[in-house]
Chain A
């Protein structure tokens, strides 16, 4: 294999890794802050993708531009799902939460199936097949844009959690929600905002996919498993863990895809997840 091909494949690993990190950041946020396992998180991503596809088909809105519409919508929908359903299972076992969110995922998946059918879909924009040439490398424009957007969003999430009042409240509620309540933090509202934010990250990830990634109503489970794998690799306690996990997953997939076939590459990824579950159950950055 030509060395440039290897560099190119690894670069795509970084590109996909950034997008995976964004996809996982919301899952990690709800798991870390609220101890809520959201098995519908992948479906949140897919919903945003299909909304962008719809806007593209109806009014030729560029999927990346449509983020301006899907993000506020995602916040409202996320907050609604939280206050209608998930609020009641915050204190329940993970098994209960898994079942409830699986139910929500089933509802989303089948509503999308009724509305759009089961085909794989892509938004063919003017730049879908355009590439960026760097030396001997050729990088797809929409993938690079999506990756940059993912990096920016994850960085904003990190800065928000670190420097804003809401972010501090979210972190305080993660560490010890009882103490946070005693300090005057309205933990219930913090949870609502955190869940809304998680849906927002899903919307950014979902809306940046349709220009280069074939989406179907069944794609939700695929993103859920990726997010779960990243959380196992990186841990839930810090956004940086998610970034490391996402990049590792992207690079692993790229490397395994080069060395073996794509199918065996996916098997390899899950083998790594098993190794991490055994070796580092709380992730690379987690407390042992």
Chain B
């Protein structure tokens, strides 16, 4: 379901430049409350982009990306609190840990032919094993978690001003989109899509599926781990229940699936829609508390998810109906 994309024309170029200027100028307009929201929205957009590389492009429907997220958060945080290594460096160590974990998972999944929903279950199992282990491992904070200090230390990715966090995460979103765009146009990307559409057919056609799966999952995991480091530095608190929870995993998947799996901008659109709608619901003059608004939001999100999967399986940005028809024809 891929096609050769034409080069961007003047219209899209102007639009892109405007968008970039607006995004970069936002901290000057927003107060600290909205800036915090913007950072969190951008973080979810970033994580959805990461998951998209594995679930959207390669068809590796992981439910265990929180394991990579936690690998990044814990590695950089422990390096910082125990050895005073700057999280700017720890971030790369975390990415390495995430990629290593992903490689182990990918190698075993290929070796034992764990595919489709069984791959999803296997990745859930990894998280369900890691969480109790971290919970009971007192030297890494146990179930109480780890606190980071509240101070202004740009060399250690700690800022008092929200605007700096905003620029870091917006930069990360840009990097993730660039990586996705480059992969989508590369041999690796085409191989990944071939595997997603029909793994057996791809293998028969000479696609080195084991290597492609390893690479896609490892890249996705490394980027996810960087998101974990950013999460720790921004919220200054990590805990197994949170970083290995079901919620962050769901947000990554929902943002991608609703926005458009296997597209560069889809995950961003989907997860931003989620954040914006949540906030709008709280602002509605119905007197909903933030908790009730969040519940109603998740309820609506469930409805949106079902509707998108039934009527627009390619997501808001995907060529949904086309892919759906193809799947029907292929199975008939």
Contacts and interface: CB of A to CB of B under 8 A. Distances in A.
Interface stretch (B82-90, B95-103, B171-179, B301-309): B301-309
B128 A225 contact: yes
A266 B124 CA distance: 13
B24 interface: no
B319 interface: no
Interface stretch (B113-121, B184-192, B263-271, B272-280): B113-121
Contacts of A273: 121, 125
A264 B304 CA distance: 37
A212 B155 CA distance: 53
Interface string A87-105: 0110111111011101111
B114 A114 contact: no
Contacts of A104: 302, 306
A88 B120 CA distance: 22
Contact of B118 (A110, A232, A267, A270): A232
B61 A95 contact: yes
B309 A281 contact: no
A214 interface: no
B85 to A, nearest CB: 29
B306 A274 contact: no
A110 B302 contact: yes
A106 B117 contact: no
B200 interface: no
B235 interface: no
Contacts of B113: 281
B54 to A, nearest CB: 12
A232 B309 contact: no
B140 to A, nearest CB: 15
Contacts of B150: none
A253 to B, nearest CB: 13
Interface stretch (B14-22, B130-138, B202-210, B213-221): B130-138
A137 interface: no
Nearest to A113: B295
A251 interface: no
Nearest to A261: B136
A261 B142 CA distance: 14
A89 B299 contact: no
Given A91-B328, A107-B306, A114-B292, A277 B133 contact: no
Is the contact region of chain B dominated by helix, strand, or loop, or is it mixed? Answer: helix
B196 to A, nearest CB: 9
A281 B59 contact: no
A270 B123 CA distance: 10
Given A92-B327, A100-B309, A114 B296 contact: yes
A274 B64 CA distance: 13
A232 B310 CA distance: 28
A98 B310 contact: no
A273 B113 CA distance: 15
Contacts of B147: none
For chain B, which range describes its interface: under 10, 10 to 19, 20 to 34, or 35 or more residues?
35 or more
A114 B305 contact: no
A95 B125 CA distance: 18
Contacts of B59: 95
A163 to B, nearest CB: 31
B117 A266 contact: no
Nearest to A95: B61
Interface string A23-41: 0000000000000010000
Contacts of A58: none
B122 interface: yes
Nearest to A263: B132
A98 B132 CA distance: 26
B121 A114 contact: no
Contacts of A225: 124, 128
Given A100-B306, A225-B128, 9 more contacts: A92-B324, A96-B313, A100-B305, A102-B250, A105-B302, A106-B298, A109-B298, A110-B295, A267-B128
Interface of A: 37, 85, 88-89, 91-96, 98-100, 102-107, 109-111, 113-114, 221, 225, 228-229, 232, 261, 263-264, 266-267, 270-271, 273-274, 277-279, 281
The 9 A-B pairs at the shortest CB distance, nearest first, are namely A106-B302, A103-B305, A107-B302, A110-B299, A263-B132, A103-B306, A278-B112, A270-B125, A267-B132
25 contacts: A94-B117, A98-B120, A100-B306, A102-B305, A103-B301, A106-B298, A106-B299, A107-B303, A109-B298, A110-B302, A113-B295, A114-B295, A114-B296, A228-B121, A229-B121, A232-B118, A263-B132, A267-B131, A267-B132, A267-B133, A270-B125, A274-B126, A274-B129, A277-B125, A281-B118
